[in-house]
Homo-oligomer: A and B are copies of this chain.
């Protein structure tokens, strides 16, 4: 684990995204509120938010970071749902892993909520899209 104790406390943000590809039938049930296990979008959001706080429990070399804000959205798109997360902290190291953990756990929770209807879902395209703050400076995937 890299030593970050001498790094300054600075404001940092990381953004990540991902997709769950699923069937039309799932998206229709989501739109109608007809899924047997309940509101998949809401449960996925909350699960993602909570998972962001569990990141150092899951990723062996991740530092504990004081998660100061999490925004997570799970929004239907043409062939599934798009998950986006923005995580902020004032701490000594970055929080990309928190943003990614938020996205994958929100994604898997969506998969769990719909798997009785569609067992062929795929979690795809999970990546960091932007980060700011810290020594390495601002960065966005579009650069």
Contact = CB atoms under 8 A, between A and B. Distances in A.
Interface residues of A, number: 65
Interface string A43-64: 1001101110110111111111
Contacts of A71: 1
Give the most central of A53, A90, A111, A126: most B CB within 10 Å.
A126
Main SS class of interface, A: mixed
Give the most central of A62, A66, A113, A128: most B CB within 10 Å.
A66
A24 interface: no
Contacts of A66: 63-64, 66, 91-92
Interface stretch (A26-34, A74-82, A95-103): A95-103
Closest 4 CB pairs of A and B: A3-B69, A5-B68, A123-B126, A5-B90
